[in-house]
A = this chain, B = another copy of it.
Amino acid sequence: MTVSDLTEAELVARIHSHLQSPPGWLLVGIGDDAAVVEPERNKLEVLTVDALVEGVHFDRRLMPPDAIGHRALAVNLSDLAAMGASPRLALVSLALPEDMTSGDFDRMTSGIAGLARRHRLHVVGGNLTRSPGPLVIDVTVAGSAKRRQVLTRGGARPGDEIYVTGTVGGAAAGLQMLRGSTTGAGGKREGDPACIHRYRYPVPRIGAGVQLARNRAAVACMDLSDGLADGVRQIAAASGVGIAIDGDLVPVDPAARRWFESTGLDPLVTALTGGDDYELVFASRAALGARLRAVRQRSPALTRVGVCTREPDVVLHRVVNGARTEEAMPGGYTHFG
């Protein structure tokens, strides 16, 4: 059975069956012309939208349907985390190829609903249409944050230190492993299940983002959808500073490092420019040391990786053959298409 055997009402009912009971602040939910929501008192509202397009952001052969649903919501939650906002609601707009099975539809929906439940976020509305081409999932999320706790990209000053949560490179390695397993390009090399899981089920750093915001421990923050190299460039540009990253401090995922080395890639450069990690990169400063220690008690995996500079360049320091070198941060200008 495919989605084209069902009515829109039947598809909506299947989505409903995955959702929690509606929260008290949701006054009108799915089924009317729009959702009606009670705003949170004394909070600002934080809004973002992100689309996943089949053939651009994922390959249905490499991603189980629940992972596609999970990712569509996770990338948006990651944006909220980067602002220090707590998730509240989502609207989900789906363009479904007619040959999508109803089982895959259910699995995709449960991927969205499972992650929503974990973050106590409610799906308040959405849209369903067919697609004559790729599967497209557009998710809009809204969260809330206190006025003085919002984390933008633009608050870093020369001398501020740059931190990253967790590790980087694991998702890019996982994607390479998956691609190798379908094309055979990976040869006999075994992929690492943790890297593959990391690629398929990104974990938005909501906890770290909210802790940074509540403790007011960061002066700039963004999430790593396109890699750490891109992240530091964006913070540098928005804040009007340069950034020097110490390559030897960058927490490259160990399994990813081994994988990149075995394929002849530079592990550091590949990890810096690989996307899909969805960690947070942020700037803090010495005067906020006590606050940052408070954050560490709940979000221990924070690594200092560099410093903001007066010179406007974004550079990478590392030790090559025993000598300290400086190079331009890899990656950069890319065409849209």
- Min CB distance A177 to B, Å, is 24
Number of A residues near B (Cβ < 8 Å) is 77
- Considering the complex, give the chain B residue whose CB is closest to the CB of A46: B34
Counting CB contacts under 8 A, is A31 at the interface? yes
Residue-wise interface mask of A (174-215) relative to B, using a CB-CB cutoff of 8 A (1 in contact, 0 not): 000000000000000000000000000000000000000000
- Cα distance A138–B49 in the bound complex, in angstroms: 9
Residue-wise interface mask of A (8-21) relative to B, using a CB-CB cutoff of 8 A (1 in contact, 0 not): 10110000000000
Instruction: Give the chain B neighbours of A131 by CB distance below 8 A.
Output: 53, 56, 133-134, 136
Residue-wise interface mask of A (116-157) relative to B, using a CB-CB cutoff of 8 A (1 in contact, 0 not): 000000001111111111101010101101000010111000
- Min CB distance A133 to B, Å, is 2
- Cα distance A2–B54 in the bound complex, in angstroms: 21
- Min CB distance A235 to B, Å, is 11
- Min CB distance A229 to B, Å, is 16
Which residues from 39 to 90 on chain A have a C-beta closer than 8 Å to any C-beta of chain B? 39-40, 43-51, 53-57, 79-80, 82-83, 85, 89
Which listed residue (B3, B37, B55, B152) contacts A45, Cβ 8 A?
Answer: B37
- Cα distance A27–B44 in the bound complex, in angstroms: 9
Instruction: Give the chain B neighbours of A11 by CB distance below 8 A.
Output: 336
**Given A28-B150, A335-B5, A129-B46 contact (CB < 8 Å):** no
- Cα distance A154–B31 in the bound complex, in angstroms: 10
Instruction: Give the chain B neighbours of A95 by CB distance below 8 A.
Output: 51, 53, 56, 136
- Considering the complex, give the chain B residue whose CB is closest to the CB of A95: B53
- Considering the complex, give the chain B residue whose CB is closest to the CB of A135: B133
The answer to whether A93 and B51 have CB atoms under 8 Å apart is yes
Counting CB contacts under 8 A, is A7 at the interface? yes
The answer to whether B57 and A129 have CB atoms under 8 Å apart is yes
**Given A11-B336, A140-B91, A335-B7, A34-B132 contact (CB < 8 Å):** no
The answer to whether B34 and A83 have CB atoms under 8 Å apart is yes
Counting CB contacts under 8 A, is A313 at the interface? no
Instruction: Give the chain B neighbours of A269 by CB distance below 8 A.
Output: none
Counting CB contacts under 8 A, is A223 at the interface? yes
Counting CB contacts under 8 A, is A6 at the interface? yes
Counting CB contacts under 8 A, is A327 at the interface? no
- Cα distance A3–B335 in the bound complex, in angstroms: 9
- Min CB distance A94 to B, Å, is 8
Counting CB contacts under 8 A, is A321 at the interface? no
Pull 26 A–B residue pairs with CB atoms less than 8 Å apart, ordered by A. Answer: A4-B337, A5-B335, A7-B333, A7-B336, A28-B83, A31-B153, A32-B154, A33-B83, A33-B221, A34-B83, A35-B46, A35-B48, A36-B46, A36-B83, A37-B47, A39-B43, A48-B91, A50-B127, A51-B93, A51-B136, A53-B130, A53-B131, A53-B132, A55-B133, A98-B337, A127-B138
